[in-house]
Amino acid sequence: MEPVLVAANWKMYKTTAEARAFFSAWGEVAVPPGREAAFFPPFPLLSLVKELLPAGQTLGAQNAHEALEGAFTGEVSCPLLKDAGCSYVLLGHSERRHVFGEDDRRIGAKFQTAMKSGLRPILCVGELLDEREAGRTLPVVLGQLEAGLGPEPPDGGFDIAYEPVWAIGTGKVARPVDAGEVHAAIIGHLRGLGAGRDARVLYGGSVKPDNASALLATPGVHGLLVGGASLDPASFAAITRAGS
């Protein structure tokens, strides 16, 4: 079994000086056995964070373009991310889907390229509030999952993050029982496809030190994707150690 993955999505936050300050406090934090801490800083900080990361902790990017290279001003490719020391790439984050208009087809193309480039994609899926209220959570989430994995879903080498859109950055966290139901459906769907034998299913959306233990104790939750609460070393340390 892969370690429980606790991932810090820094979004478009932190300068060089702020990242250095984070890691000078974080330097003392011991990640418990069986857990992995991974950091997803903005692109310009990747190399710096790679240098500052304690041994055994990992680096990822928040997005990538689907082409291996090309005339795509302002974009970053999977091979460049690999070269910068990334192990992971987030794909299909709800802000990419709903703020930048990335559709399932594009996210699926990115997923294929990340796999080919030797990165481990973390495919993000999640329903909007009106989709949940209309009882459409599972069809939406499983539809995003299938489209992201493509017609020949890989055997392994990727992870999934379930992030209900209404829970991201809102302080409204999914109840463990609701998260557990969606995680079980994702795991069942992967089994049905014969895909993702080593895939972890992370929960994301308003994860905080006071709700992390209950979420991590929920069957089918194999890690956490943390936005706001990952920016502060003490709060991310508490989440990384929660319930261990």
Catalytic residue status for 152: no
Contact between 5 and 159 (Cβ < 8 Å): yes
Q: Which is nearer to ligand PGA, 101 or 192 (CB)?
A: 101
Given 36, 95, 102, 163, the catalytic residue: 163
- Kindly state the tokens that stand for 161: 């993050």
Q: What's the one-letter identity of residue 4?
A: V
Q: Match 């991932």 to its residue by tokens.
A: 7
For residue 163, state whether it binds ligand PGA (rule: CB under 6 A): yes
Of the listed pieces 66-74, 162-170, 194-202, 215-223, which binds ligand PGA according to CB under 6 A? 162-170
Q: For the segment 184-223, give every residue that binds ligand PGA (CB under 6 A).
A: 204-207
Count of residues interacting with ligand PGA (CB under 6 A): 13
Q: For the segment 8-27, give every residue that binds ligand PGA (CB under 6 A).
A: 9
Q: How many Å apart are CA 164 and CA 161, to the nearest integer?
A: 10
DSSP code for 77: B
Max Cα separation, the chain?
Answer: 47
Q: How many Å apart are CA 208 and CA 206, to the nearest integer?
A: 6
Q: Which is nearer to ligand PGA, 126 or 153 (CB)?
A: 126
Rounded to the nearest whole angstrom, what is the least distance from the CB of residue 225 to ligand PGA in the complex? 5
Closest Cα to residue 240, out of 16, 32, 1?
32
Catalytic residue status for 65: no
Instruction: Give the residue, chosen from 52, 226, 237, 242, that forms a contact with ligand PGA under the rule CB under 6 A.
Output: 226
The binding site for ligand PGA (CB under 6 A) comprises 9, 163, 168-169, 204-207, 225-229
